Amino acid sequence: MYSPLFDPMIIIAFLAITGMMGVMALPVAALASLFSYLIGRIPQRWLQAILPVAIALVFIAGERPFQSFMYTSLSANDALLLGSFVTIIHVIPQACILAMGAITPFPLIREHLTLKREWHAIFAAAMIAVTGIYLQNMFIAFGPRMGTYLDISRIPYIEFFTGLSQFVEAMVIAAAVFGAILFLQHVQSLVASHPCKQSILLAVVTSLFVLLPAAAIGGLAVFFMTILKRIPGRMIPMGISAAALVVLSLIGSILMGIPGLERVLYFSLFTMAIMAFAVLVPFLYFAPGIGKTWQPVILLAGAVAADLILSLIAVSFELGERLTADSVTILTFAEGGMIIAAGAFAVRQFLVTRDNSPSSPAMAGEAP
């Protein structure tokens, strides 16, 4: 059966638009790298962690006063209120907000990333995050209108909600990118002695882009795992993951019930975070039996498999959307992802137990 999604012209047009959005994201990525370098010069680590959030909140709260001040100051010169200058007035605060969002998760995972130049990771995360946000904004502006929308300009504090949602979007997507980079580091160490190492790494990187958004869920799960593994034991991290997916499900349901606000908030990020915590719950149970080098690899692969299988089931049986106004539906999808991920991790454990060969580098990995 013919599907317009696989029309070559549509694919080419989508790639062209994505490339154009990527070019537009370059200045923001460069700005994020510059801010990251300046913040990294501060000796206090705790200040490095909170400063991006504080700067973002200042720009979020001050975006409308800044624009009003600029328009008032330039009102005497009509020429300055036309064309690209007005665009710059709107772009500067938004660029700073997105840049801070890309920087914020980095201190939480910095010590686990073996990078010669930290700004490379910041630049990549900002590029991917900003390009994705620009594509989303374009779809909202020019895509099909779904449902009945109110005049969002009448929603109280709409500018603050808009800026905050963009900051959170950039932060979550950047966290997923950092998790994917950590995953690639471990893949590189596992195939270091393989003669086709470069080809394998290229195939893995290509697969991450092809398997989006499932790969983004896996990258976000790796990011969360890296943070939660600092807590001793496994019951507390499992409990935190389970509580987080419940809380996010309830918040998503509440936001979905506010007319007009769905145009402001990127709800698929809620789905991504909920599914990341869902697959993390069974992984933390099996993690003690998995070598440290293999843990990010197994987690991301299991998350991708679980999400793809769950998506296939949802489409085949017409089960509806993952994020709706019904929190029970959201939790049902999350529970399904948890069960499928648990099955994937259990199969991995079975295969390792069956092939119990400590001398095999492909299966042994590092000691837990």
- The answer to whether 49 touches 100, Cβ cutoff 8 Å, is no
How much of the chain exceeds pLDDT 90, in percent?
Answer: 36
Dmax (CA) for the chain in angstroms is 79
Q: CB under 8 Å, gap of 24 or more: what pairs does 12-18 form? A: 17/135, 17/138, 18/131, 18/135
Lowest mean pLDDT among 58-62, 121-125, 233-237, 347-351: 347-351
Residue 75's pLDDT is: 59
Q: What is the mean pLDDT of residues 252-281?
A: 78
What is the rounded average pLDDT of the residues 12-30? 79
pLDDT at 104 over 90: yes
What are the extents of the domains in the chain?
13-140+147-194, 211-356
pTM of the model: 0.85
Over residues 250-258, mean pLDDT: 80
The predicted structure's pLDDT at residue 357: 52
Predicted confidence at residue 52, as pLDDT, reads: 93
Q: List b or e across 322-359, with b for residues whose CB sees 16 or more CB atoms inside 10 angstroms.
A: bbbeebebbbebbebbbebbbebbeebeeebeeeeeee
What's residue 7's pLDDT?
Answer: 53
Please state the rounded mean pLDDT for residues 167-189.
93
pLDDT at 214: 92
Asked whether the predicted pLDDT for residue 360 surpasses 80, the reply is no
pLDDT at 79: 55
pLDDT number for residue 266: 59
pLDDT tens string 230-247: 998 889 999 999 999 999
Most confident range, picked from 73-77, 193-197, 324-328, 363-367 = 193-197
CA distances from 200 to 57, 180, 195, 197 (A): 42, 16, 10, 5
Q: Cα–chain-centroid distance for residue 238?
A: 21
Mean pLDDT of the chain: 81
Token pair for residue 10? Answer: 């549509």
The Cα 337–Cα 314 span in angstroms is 11
The pLDDT of residue 265 is 60
> At residue 60, does pLDDT exceed 50?
yes
Report the pLDDT value the prediction gives residue 128, as an integer from 0 to 100. 92
pLDDT in tens, 109-166: 988 988 888 888 999 999 999 998 888 777 766 655 544 444 555 555 667 777 888 8
Q: What is the pLDDT of residue 133?
A: 86
pLDDT at 94 over 70: yes
Tell which residue, 178, 182, 5, 27, has the closest CA to residue 91: 27
